[in-house]
């Protein structure tokens, strides 16, 4: 297993093409725009070597029996699923942000079980091929980015009917050596500081869209791959220090738009090529695994938000006020409700034909749907309690200025000896954690809220629920009186 230092050094060996603010970054992993995301991902490596966390962060591989980083593991029990959630919460607490590696974790698990099903039904060799790739990832401890979301173009049209066929990643050529793919993947969390990315379809597909039914593994620095870093709220502050709020780990996951311009992929790295009838299953499994996560990682992040809010009210001496205590209690209530959802969907997990374990999809989707609401309310309550300075603080350069710095220090002092810099740092942390980019990711990460509602309705089993109601009120399912009830 790599150490955090070895992970950082490994990125320097890559020739990853990353653009930001109209420039090609020459030393991308140490650039201020990306360095915090590297640091947060590095925590997934550091914890694997920390005796306090090894039970959560490491596990024995079912392929080799060797100890591996859990982020390269395939779940083989409900205990695995639960430990994953606990690991994500712990990492959220340690970093206060997205540590990025769970997207690839979920992709590995989704592709593993889906390729097994493909081989069983179609007689293909995708699963055995994927197991070799998985062992390579476990042996090298590489960070894999999960790549599902396509730009999609006109959402009213399927991939094959798009005016521009590149709106979805697709196969443009096949030969004895491999395939060539073209298109783009959007909102790619952590991809610029990963080693590989695992491509998957983004929607269920039909026969006419079979060229878009493709899953494959590609090095992030492969020929024809370009990453364009997305802007974040307050990203210009990454060139500052205190004003970042979370200067070491940043906010969210350094998402990028990844362009694939006729990228060659050898057959040993191809895990779906035209088997459109299995695209929906792969999408659903990845989405459900990823929605499981949010009550873990976001609860860990909210633990930091709640702690910062509690510190902010103490700094001004209002921590004992009943309405303050009640609002903090509500923040805790909402956060722990989300955590309960992730634990529940894990504990209710089931074994698939591949012997891998899969979450309860209804509860996973419920958890993510609640995330899209509860984290906004937790953020709103933190804004309520932190006060107006959250939005009107002067810059850290003003704080350091010989002329106005002493003035700011005088008027930012709090209660009981709370110094101005301590207040400043806590408020900046809260501002960045509860600002625009972080909340948008909570809303749309792992799919939009409507995508979850579609899944929830599909699995609601309304027929059974109606049967229960009809029986209790003395009716048959046809609406006739049942005198035997």
Q: 47, 98, 216, 273: which one is catalytic?
A: 98
- Which residues have C-beta within 8 Å of that of residue 447, sequence separation ≥ 6? 287, 290, 291, 368
**Which of the following is catalytic: 37, 44, 102, 170?**
102
Active site residue 294: yes
Cβ of 345: how many Cβ atoms within 10 Å?
A: 28
404: three-class secondary structure by DSSP: coil
Q: What is the CA radius of gyration of the chain?
A: 24
> How many residues does this entry show for the chain?
485
* DSSP category for residue 477: T
Query: HSE-up of 54 (CA within 13 Å, CB side)?
Result: 8
Burial track 111-123 (b if 16+ CB lie within 10 A, e otherwise): bbbbbbbbbeeee
Catalytic residue among 127, 297, 345, 372: 297
Enter the DSSP assignment of 251. Answer: S
- The reply to whether 47 belongs to the active site is no
Q: Where are the alpha helices (DSSP H) in 223-354?
A: 279-315, 322-347
Active-site residue flag, 473 = no
Burial class (CB in 10 A: 0-12, 13-18, 19+), 13: exposed
Which of the following is catalytic: 39, 46, 196, 255? 255
290 is catalytic: yes
Catalytic position from the list 46, 196, 396, 441 = 441
Show the 3-state SS of 133-186: HHHHHHHHCCCEEEECCCCCCCCCCCHHHCCCHHHCCEEEEECCCEEEEEEEEE
Active-site residue flag, 441: yes
Active-site residue, selected from the candidate residues 16, 72, 189, 202: 189
Catalytic residue (choose from 290, 361, 367, 431): 290
Q: Using alpha carbons, list the distances in angstroms from residue 391 to 52, 271, 384, 387.
A: 37, 49, 12, 8
Considering the candidates 7, 294, 358, 424, report the single residue annotated as catalytic.
294
- Catalytic residues, by residue number, are 98, 102, 189, 255, 290, 294, 297, 441
């Amino acid at each position: 297993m790599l150490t955090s230092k070895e992970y950082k050094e490994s990125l320097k060996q890559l020739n990853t093409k990353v653009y930001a603010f109209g420039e090609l970054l020459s030393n991308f992993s140490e650039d201020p725009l990306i360095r915090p995301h590297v640091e947060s991902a590095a925590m997934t490596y550091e914890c694997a070597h920390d005796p306090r966390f090894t039970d959560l962060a490491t596990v024995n591989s079912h392929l080799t029996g060797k100890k591996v980083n859990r982020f390269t593991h395939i779940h083989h029990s409900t205990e695995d699923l639960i430990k994953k959630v606990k690991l994500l919460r712990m990492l959220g607490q340690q970093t206060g942000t997205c540590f990025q590696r769970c997207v690839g974790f979920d992709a590995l698990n989704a592709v593993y079980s889906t390729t097994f099903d493909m081989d069983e039904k179609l007689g293909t060799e995708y699963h055995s091929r994927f197991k070799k790739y998985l062992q390579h990832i476990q042996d090298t401890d590489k960070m894999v980015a999960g790549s599902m979301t396509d730009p999609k173009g006109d959402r009213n049209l399927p991939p094959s009917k798009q005016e521009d066929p590149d709106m979805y990643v697709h196969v443009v050529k096949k030969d004895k050596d491999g395939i060539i793919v073209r298109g783009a993947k959007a909102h790619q969390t952590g991809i610029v500081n990963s080693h590989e990315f695992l491509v998957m379809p983004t929607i269920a597909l039909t026969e006419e869209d079979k060229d878009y039914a493709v899953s494959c593994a590609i090095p992030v620095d492969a020929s024809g791959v370009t990453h364009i870093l997305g802007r974040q709220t307050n990203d210009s502050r990454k060139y500052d220090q205190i004003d970042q709020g979370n200067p070491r780990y940043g906010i969210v996951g350094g998402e990028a738009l990844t362009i694939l311009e006729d990228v060659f992929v050898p057959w040993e790295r191809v895990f779906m090529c035209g088997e459109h009838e299995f695209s929906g299953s792969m999408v659903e499994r990845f989405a459900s695994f990823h929605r499981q996560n949010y009550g873990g990682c976001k609860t860990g992040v909210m633990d930091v938000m709640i702690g910062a809010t509690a510190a902010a009210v103490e700094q001004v001496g209002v921590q004992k006020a009943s309405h303050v205590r009640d609002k903090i209690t509500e923040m805790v209530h909402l956060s722990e409700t989300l955590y309960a959802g992730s634990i529940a969907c894990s504990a209710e997990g089931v074994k698939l034909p591949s012997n891998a374990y899969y979450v309860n999809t209804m509860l996973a989707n419920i958890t993510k749907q609640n995330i899209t609401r509860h984290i906004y309310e937790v953020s709103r309550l933190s804004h309520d309690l932190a006060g107006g300075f959250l939005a009107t603080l002067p810059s850290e350069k003003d704080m350091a200025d010989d002329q106005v710095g002493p003035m700011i220090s005088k008027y930012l002092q709090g209660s009981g000896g709370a110094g101005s810099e301590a207040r400043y740092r806590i408020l900046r942390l809260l501002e960045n954690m509860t600002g625009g980019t972080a909340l948008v990711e909570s809303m749309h990460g792992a799919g939009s809220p409507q995508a979850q509602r579609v899944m929830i309705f599909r699995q609601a089993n309304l027929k059974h629920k109606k049967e229960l109601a009809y029986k209790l009120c003395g009716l048959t399912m046809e609406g006739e009186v049942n005198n035997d009830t």
